[in-house]
Amino acid sequence: MIRVIPEGRLANNLFQYVFSRVLHDATGLRLDYSVNTSIFSTPKLDGSVGSGEPLVVSDYFDINKDHVLDVPKTIEMCRGKNVVVHGYFQNKSYFNHRREMIKKWLGEIPQSNKSATGIHVRKTDYKAIKWDLPDSFYEECIKSANPSRLLVFTDEPEDVYVKTLISRGGELVQGTPEQSIFLLGTCGKQIISRSTFSWWSSFLSSPEKVYYPRPLEGWWSVKDSPHKIIEVDSSEYHYVET
């Protein structure tokens, strides 16, 4: 059996489900974990129970302890075992070549707003840990995208820069996290923040262009978090250093 100790919020839980689903499909072990929201609904899956003391499969989440798991070796280690999955499992080696399959597992987001550009501006919790992106990043991306319609997704609608976007004709979109992930994913062009929230919007859809931050330091940087690189190897992704 594969059990999961959930960490974080919805976007993190989707990574945990995907990694556990990879193990399930390869080992035939029962998957006793699901993610259920109004939009994302992943089922628990039947399989063998496994035996023995719980085998904890983890990639940690401490910058000094992070490591990337060797998936084939991990699969062999888990066969016939009682498995507990605990971690964040955010590395491109786990999912890049499985994108189309993951879209089937989680549900592909249709491109129903192809003419719109969606932008995710994450501020509130990131300000305290200095993960928020400079306004210049968003400005560079907007200039390149040249949107005829700009849909603004944010956790801080009262932010000065967000208000500036609205004053320039941007349309503020408000809803639950899963609604926002879905609606951003429907846009033909997507400007994402340094966040797994908007990462899933782009990964589960088929946009014309994704503007993706490539920070020189901190979260998502090769320098400070080399084991948490989740860049997508696909031609529509345009990487912007910031």
Q: Are residues 140 and 230 in the same domain?
A: yes
Structure pTM? Answer: 0.94
Residue pair 136/161 in contact (Cβ under 8 Å)? The answer is no
Look at residue 230 and give its three-state secondary structure.
Answer: coil
Supply 128's token pair: 């305290």
Q: Total domain count for the chain?
A: 2
Q: What is the pLDDT of residue 205?
A: 97
Q: Domain with 142 in it: what CATH number?
A: 3.40.50.2000
Q: Which of 106, 137, 169 is a domain's end point?
A: 106
Instruction: Check whether residue 128 and residue 176 sit in a common domain.
Output: yes
> Do 228 and 146 belong together in one domain?
yes
Cβ neighbours for 186, distance < 8 A, ≥ 6 positions apart: 109, 110, 111, 112, 113, 116, 118, 205
Domain range enclosing 96: 2-106
Tell me, yes or no, whether 95 and 147 share the same domain: no
Model confidence over 138-179: pLDDT tens digits? 999 999 999 999 999 999 999 999 999 999 999 999 999 999
Spatial separation of the C-alpha atoms in residues 13 and 4, rounded to whole Å: 9
Looking at the structure, tell me whether residues 95 and 214 fall in a common domain: no
78 shares its domain with 126: no
C-alpha 129, offset from chain centre: 19
- Per-residue pLDDT of 183-236, as tens digits, reads 999 999 999 999 999 999 999 999 999 999 999 988 899 888 888 899 999 999
Are 96 and 119 contained in the same domain? no
For residue 45, the 8-state DSSP code is B
Q: Are residues 79 and 123 in the same domain?
A: no
C-beta neighbour count of 139 within 10 angstroms: 13
